[in-house]
Amino acid sequence: MTASPQAGLAILISGRGSNMQAFIDACDSGRLDANISVVISNNPDAAGLQRAAQAGIATCSIDHRLYTSREAFDQALVDCLAHYPVDLVILAGFMRILTPVFIAPYSGRLLNIHPSLLPKYPGLHTHQRALDAGDKEAGVTVHFVTPELDGGPPLLQASVPILPGDNEDALAARVILQEHVIYPLAAQWFLQGRLQLRDGAAFMDGQAIPATGIPYRAETS
C-alpha cells in the first residue's frame, strides 16, 4: 500500500516570514502533516524568500508594483499557484488586500492570522490600539478569508495579558509567540477535515464556531 500524498500548502508573505518559519518547523517536526509546496511574495526583497529557499522550498516573487490593478496582480497569484499542489493557502504577513479574483477560487481554503482579538481592531496598529483603549488583554486570531478585510469568521484565538508598563513592542513580542503556536494548529485542523466554511460561517467538527473563535488553551490542541 502506498502512503497518501501529504497535503500541499502555499504560503504568501511580504517580509521576513516569521509565521512561515513556524510552518516550516511544524512540518519538520510532524506537528503539521503537510508539505509546503511554494512560498510567494509580492516583495522581491522579502527576507522570507531566502529563508524558504534555504529550507528547500520553491519560491516565487510577484511584484505587485508591476500590475495596473489589484485584480491583475491577484490573477497572477492564481496563475502561479496553478503550477503547484495546493490544498490550503496561508497568508503569513501578506500585506496586500486581496480581491475576489483570488479569494473566490480558494474560498474555504484560505486562512489569515490577525494580531488582535477579532472582531476588535481590524486593520493596522492593533497592539497600540489595545493599549490606548486600556484593554486588559490582547491577542491573535486565525480566521477564514472573505472579501471583507479581516472580516472572515474567526477560527482560533489566543490571548495574552497586557502588563503594567507594556509598550507596543513588548506586547507584540508576546503575541507573536502565540501566533506561531495557533496558526499551524488551525491549519492541521483544516487538513484533518475538522474546519469548514459554509455559507459564510465557520464550523469545527460540524458545530458552529463562536463569533470570537475557539479560545486556545494548551489542551485545545
Active site residues: 114
Residue 38 DSSP SS3: strand
Can you say whether the dihedral through the CA atoms of 80, 96, 145, 25 is positive or negative? positive
Among 19, 73, 71, 82, CA closest to 43: 73
Q: Which helix (H) or strand (E) holds 173?
A: helix 168-191
Rounded CA-CA distance 193/28 in Å is 21
Determine how many CB atoms are found less than 10 A away from the CB of residue 220: 13
Rounded CA-CA distance 24/205 in Å is 26
Among 143, 158, 97, 91, CA closest to 123: 97
